[in-house]
Amino acid sequence: MRNAFVRSLMRLAAIDPRIVLVTGDLGFGVLTPFKERFPRQYVNAGVAEQNMTGLATGLAREGKIVFTYSIANFPTLRCLEQIRNDACYHRADVKVVAIGGGFSYGALGISHHATEDLSIMRALPEITCVAPGDLWETEEATAAIARAPGTCYLRLDKSAAPPTHAEGERFALGRARIVREGDAATIVASGGILAEVLAAAEALAGDGLYCRVISMHTLKPFDAAAIAAAARETGGIITVEENTVDGGLGGAVAEACLDAGVAPGFFRRIGLRTGFSCVVGSQPYLRERYGLDAPAIRAALLAALRGLTGVKKPGGISR
């Protein structure tokens, strides 16, 4: 996803000199083409993410559209106060970009596991919060947040779903995308975990269960109408996020259902429920370990459907 982001940002910078990229002393290989082509639109702020965010806000207040860039928790949680008080409060055109969402840097441990950021960033006032699921969504989201006024958060993943867009399709912030049709149930995903969801949906189709799959690429503003429709038109809803279930995608979906006064046939949240993710390993390994991979998603949906018919659920599906 980071390569797709840089490609899109370079196209934007070529036509708009207001675009500025500020890095927290990383990304030299992938950012080198940007630095060489746009030296006056590139700043290395060093390993000082709080200062990076303050600098970005100052540049934005002078008319720039500033993208800050660092790994996972560092441009977000480390400088949350600066994002809140400097950027969001002033509605500054600061676009916070975190690479390595979820378990992308799983082998580096808890300091690099970005598993609360969606919940925390979504809670801030005056912010747009985006987690694209595939490379097309990544490129389109980059352009969209550059156009959007105010502060934005873009969470990028090392993994990505295969292409999901139709020819001529238009991307819009705050508008969910139905990437697979079905009415047995709806599976809602944010971010690169969409790949696992699509694999689960394909396996469920082999079981004769055709599920609607929604890419909820924008957590804020949230497409509540798409969720209300899913609750009415399909058998139930399961949410999948590489994030804690506390305050993340699952919470947003539950809120949307209650606000709309609709109740899905069943509702399940798949995400982290075990506190800190203290296990280390590759992203696929950690997804399997914490019940976030395609087999676990398929099993959870089958268990939920069995529950509707009164059949006893198998054990070990509650993650």
**CA distances for 110 relative to 80, 107, 139, 157, 319, angstroms:** 18, 9, 28, 16, 19
Catalytic residue flag (residue 139): no
Q: Which of 49, 196, 241, 242 is catalytic?
A: 49
How far apart are the C-alpha atoms of 55 and 63, rounded to whole Å? Answer: 13
Nearest Cα to Cα of residue 115 among 298, 316, 288, 283: 283
Residue 224 DSSP label = H
* The residue type at 171: F
Q: Where do the DSSP E strands lie in the chain?
A: 19-23, 42-44, 65-71, 94-99, 127-130, 151-155, 177-180, 186-189, 212-215, 218-220, 237-244, 267-272
What does the DSSP assignment read for 85-140? IIIITTT--EEEEEES-BTTTGGG-GGG-B-SHHHHHHHSSSEEEE--SBHHHHHH
Catalytic residues: 49
